[in-house]
Amino acid sequence: GAVVSQHPSRVICKSGTSVKIECRSLDFQATTMFWYRQFPKQSLMLMATSNEGSKATYEQGVEKDKFLINHASLTLSTLTVTSAHPEDSSFYICSARKPDSYYGYTFGSGTRLTVV
């Protein structure tokens, strides 16, 4: 199988603080992980592609200084929302691709971020 664990599942933080979200591949090594953002009743929006040992590739319109991504090992990628504001409140989801696999991607369970 391919299991991705994402933590925390829910977080409430004060405006101006930073929040870190972790994404771990439990039973495989993920050279590439993806971070998505999803608003209610909308599709998943790709924020960035995280590659182990190199800088993340951010999608157009995503502030790389605000959404810091670190993929320091083959099983862990983190997304840090810095100086969070209420408009950053959203559902953040990570996914990983098992190397040499063209099959379905595995997703974390998501993190509901609420900035107050």
Partner 1 sequence: SQKIEQNSEALNIQEGKTATLTCNYTNYSPAYLQWYRQDPGRGPVFLLLIRENEKEKRKERLKVTFDTTLKQSLFHITASQPADSATYLCALLMDSNYQLIWGAGTKLIIKP
Give the residues lining the site for partner 1 (CB under 8 A). Answer: 4, 6, 32, 34, 41-44, 46, 49, 91, 93, 95, 97, 102-110, 112
How far apart are alpha carbons 58 and 81 in whole angstroms? 14
Query: Which residue's CB is nearer to partner 1, number 75 or number 111?
Result: 111
- Min dist CB 84 to partner 1, Å, is 20
- Min dist CB 66 to partner 1, Å, is 21
Cβ atoms of 5 and 106 closer than 8 Å? no
Cα–Cα nearest to 25, from 61, 66, 60, 77: 77
- Min dist CB 112 to partner 1, Å, is 7
How far apart are alpha carbons 93 and 56 in whole angstroms? 16
Cβ atoms of 113 and 86 closer than 8 Å? no
- Min dist CB 97 to partner 1, Å, is 5
Maximal CA-CA distance, the chain = 42
Query: Which residue's CB is nearer to partner 1, number 69 or number 93?
Result: 93
Query: Which residue's CB is nearer to partner 1, number 4 or number 19?
Result: 4
